[in-house]
Amino acid sequence: MTDSQTGPQTGPETGAVHGTSRYAALDIGGTKIAAALVNGNGTVLHRARTATPRGGGTADGAAGGAAVLAAAARLLDDLGDDAVEALGVGAPGVIGPAGQVVSATDVLPGWAGTPVRETLADLTGLPVTVVNDVRAMAYGEAHAGAGAGFHRVLHISIGTGVGGALTTAGRLENGAHGTAGELAHLLVPERGPVPCGCGRRDHLEAVASGPAIAATGDPGHAAALLGRALAGLLAVLDPDAVVIGGGVAQIGAPFLDAVTAAFRDEALPPLRATPILPAALGTDAPLVGAALLAKTALLARTDLPVWTTLPAGTTLPAETTLPAKPRE
């Protein structure tokens, strides 16, 4: 993989508009790091993965975060020699406007405080865009997956943890504190077999995550609890659809059918027909989303008249600086 800016090119404007340009993407998780080469239309061209380094971090997490990002940067070399325009990263935790991890659970020990964007930009020489991993999944599904065509979508990821994100007209909704759409910490009426990432056992993540299901051996019960929680949550959010992805969702119809049945039993009548759909992109969703966000951010960094060339509904990462619009 090489930086497209070091060789002949037609400029980032071409890469942002046409599907022929290439974007690198990383999905950093607690057990694995995945990488992909993605074209401008959201098609994955190459994939690579490696185990997430464990241990070796200092009390402030600096060394641990550096080791994870060094492994991620090395993984990009496995994507081949195609020139790429930019790098998009889906990372766990709450991501700040400078691409740093503001807060994180112990799913990835020592991760909080890691300057993801700055470090990867130094290691790769590429423009880097960083977003929470579930938000990356949501952006991918909203633009190239099951959420495409719906106006307002609640995206849910069930895996090592439980995560959520909201999109409206393809735009990510971050909220005042960067947590819009999160549902891991919804209260449930029983004690879970494992703690939520925050430490409590009466949260949805404690009963519906992959580790919780492994501990009980009862995915149907976890699905029912998720469906009941959605019945209350959708009364507040009122989305057009719900998209469920992540490792647990790979169970398929038995899990999703149980979620849907519990939801319809508990939901208000006007909400019961809300589609609950499986994610279409599978484990590629956060990679596709991160790549498309990198593409959007690259468009905004050029001297193009962004206010006229960005597609309707395009969302820009919080750290993006737009060129000033000239006076009429």
Token pair 């469906």 in the structure block, residue: 227
* Whether 22 contacts 277, CB under 8 Å: no
Q: Is 118 exposed, middle or buried (0-12, 13-18, 19+ CB in 10 A)?
A: middle
Summarize the confidence of residues 170-178 as an average pLDDT.
87
Write down the H helix ranges in 79-150: 116-124, 133-144
Q: How sure is the predictor about 79, in pLDDT bands with cuts at 50, 70 and 90?
A: very high
Q: Is 272 helix (H, G, I), strand (E, B) or coil?
A: coil
Q: Whole-model pTM?
A: 0.83
Share of the chain above pLDDT 90, in %: 66
Looking at every residue in the chain, the average pLDDT score rounds to 85
Non-local CB neighbours of 195 within 8 Å, separated by 6+ positions: 201, 206
By C-alpha distance, which of 82, 79, 95, 85 is closest to 34?
Answer: 79
* Whether 144 contacts 292, CB under 8 Å: yes
pLDDT tens column, 233-289: 999 999 999 999 988 877 888 899 999 999 999 999 999 999 999 999 988 999 999
At 64 the pLDDT is: 80
Neighbours of 241 (CB within 10 A): 17
Token pair 């990679």 in the structure block, residue: 287
CB burial readout 80-99, b (16+ within 10 A) else e: eeebbbbbbbbbbbbbbeeb
What is the enclosing helix (H) or strand (E) of 165?
A: strand 162-168
At 4 the pLDDT is: 53
pLDDT tens column, 290-328: 999 999 999 887 533 333 233 344 454 544 444 444 443
Strand partners, 168: 152, 171
Share of the chain above pLDDT 70, in %: 83
Distance CA 199, CA 176 (A): 24
pLDDT tens column, 120-129: 999 999 999 9
* Whether 133 contacts 163, CB under 8 Å: yes
